[in-house]
Amino acid sequence: MSSDLTPKYWFRAKRYGWGWGLPTAWQGWVVLITYLVLVCGGIRFVHPSKDSLLYVAYVSVLSVGFVAICWLKGEPPRWRWGGRDT
């Protein structure tokens, strides 16, 4: 029996360390794949060999957005030591 009060996370917290692992919902997979496509697709439009600073800025903006989505839609991050905590 599932409760409607339990939030549905798109990203599960990592078992060891701090942060998030792979997505657990289809929405998380869409966000991850979109992020990867934009990062790799940016190479075609912002040539890293010619304008590396612009490409670093581009990837940084995308990464901040990705982490923000993980923060909002993922399990609350905290340091985890594996099996000792839940």
Instruction: Convert the pLDDT of each residue in 5-21 to its tens digit.
Output: 667 899 988 888 888 88
User: In the chain, how long is the greatest CA-to-CA distance?
Assistant: 56
Q: Which residues contact 1 (CB under 8 A, 6 or more apart)?
A: none
- Which of 9, 5, 26 is CA-nearest to residue 77? 9
pLDDT, one tens digit per residue, over 45-68 is: 888 788 889 999 999 999 999 999
Q: How far apart are CA 81 and CA 86, in angstroms?
A: 9
* AA letter at 35: Y
